[in-house]
C-alpha cells in the first residue's frame, strides 16, 4: 500500500478515537499486525479492508484514495 492509505487509516482511526489495540481486537488480529498496516510494512487483505471501512464508517475509496 502506498503512504496515502497508511495516512488515511491512521486519520480515520483517530477521528473515531480508537486505539490501534482496539481496532486490532475488533478485527481479531494482533496489535502489531494492525500497526504494520498504518506504517506501510504490510497490507490488509480485501476482507480486512472491508471490515476497516465498516468499523471506521468510511468508504473503501476514501480509505484507499482519500487525502486526509
Residue range 9-58, pLDDT digits in tens: 999 999 999 999 999 999 999 999 999 999 999 999 999 999 999 999 99
What is the spatial distance between Cα 66 and Cα 59, in angstroms, rounded to a whole number? 10
Q: Which of 25, 13, 26, 17 is nearest to 56 (CA)?
A: 13
Q: With bands split at pLDDT 50, 70 and 90, how would you rate the model's confidence at 68?
A: confident
For residue 47, the domain's CATH number is: 1.10.260.40
Residue 34 backbone dihedrals phi, psi, to 5 degrees: -65, -45
Please count the structural domains in the chain.
1
Q: Which of 28, 46, 35 is nearest to 6 (CA)?
A: 35
Please give the residue range of the domain that contains residue 48. 3-65
Quick one: DSSP state of residue 28? T
Amino acid at each position: 500500500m502506498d503512504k496515502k492509505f497508511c495516512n488515511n487509516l491512521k486519520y480515520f482511526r483517530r477521528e473515531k478515537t480508537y486505539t490501534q489495540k482496539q481496532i486490532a481486537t475488533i478485527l481479531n488480529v494482533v496489535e502489531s499486525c494492525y500497526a504494520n498496516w498504518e506504517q506501510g510494512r504490510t497490507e490488509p487483505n480485501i476482507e480486512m479492508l472491508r471490515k476497516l471501512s465498516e468499523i471506521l464508517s468510511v468508504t473503501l475509496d476514501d480509505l484507499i484514495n482519500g487525502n486526509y
